[in-house]
Homo-oligomer: A and B are copies of this chain.
């Protein structure tokens, strides 16, 4: 059996999986970010132990533990290079630390990578060996799977597809310090960026009050676009067009059979997807169009623990 943890800035999602990756039980505990996040691994360890007692199981019954963290990971070493949301600074040898605590073989990876692997193994990418996921949330994250394995790259930056340059001409600032990134136009932050930039080109908009009170969010933009608010429609058209360029670039580079859209912004559903698909067909290298399906993620917040379990099953036998 396999233990899985997905560490977030507010809660840690934990799970017990059987060898066929069936989820036996999931639960969550608060993430304690005090003391530079020094209690997080211990809390997970204690919660696992408590839960195993209920099932009359012990760590010896498990092949290993998979842990997802919200920060860059040196996958082979299992070392996290800082995770701001957890108050982790510098290099943290999470694999070693959790192995010392638990005595169990441990695999550590970035949370967006593991969510992608979870969707590929057990969700919207099931039975597809080449899958790329875009997570459209506050920012844009993602993951790349080739031949059933996550691609990590040499510096652990593979899958940072929020930072492919699709909107250089917008010249909007991205969180990475650059401009023109997919994240700078296709995330909640990006939609807001564009709302501020283009507001004055429209006489009035249902978004005006939200913009002036700084309470704008992606949901409001999509809802008002569906009601034909001109600024909202303009923003959604721009956003979906840039996203389609990003997907098109992935299709020409990797030609995955499935591209998965996840994250809060993807809840805009068919209204988003129909526009993305139309632009994708316009933009994409013709031979790659028909072989690429674009679908929504299906595991929601559980994708991370599914991925954490899957990666243990791939690397620890």
Structural contact, B155 and A288, CB atoms closer than 8 A:
yes
Interface size band for A: 35 or more
Q: A251–B161 Cα gap in the complex (Å)?
A: 9
Report if A165-B245 is in contact (Cβ < 8 Å); known contacts: A146-B151, A155-B287, A287-B72.
yes
Closest to A161 in B: B253
- Distance to closest chain B CB from A179 (angstroms): 9
- Smallest CB separation, A191 vs chain B (Å): 20
Chain A, range 165-203, C-beta contacts under 8 Å to B: 165-166, 168-169, 176-178, 180-181
Known pairs A146-B146, A147-B149; A165 contacts B248 (CB<8 A):
yes
A149 to chain B, nearest CB (A): 7
Does A254 contact B149, Cβ atoms closer than 8 Å? Answer: no
CA–CA, A249 and B161, complex, Å: 8
Q: Residues of B contacting A72 with CB < 8 Å? A: 287
Cβ of A176: which chain B residues have Cβ within 8 Å of it?
Answer: 285-286
Q: Is A154 part of the binding interface, using a Cβ–Cβ cutoff of 8 Å?
A: yes
Chain B nearest CB, measured from A158 CB (Å): 4
* 6 examples of A-B residue contacts, CB within 8 angstroms: A156-B255, A160-B253, A160-B288, A163-B285, A164-B249, A168-B169
Q: Which residues of A contact B (CB under 8 A)?
A: 72, 128, 130, 144, 146-147, 149, 151-166, 168-169, 176-178, 180-181, 245, 248-257, 282-288, 290-292
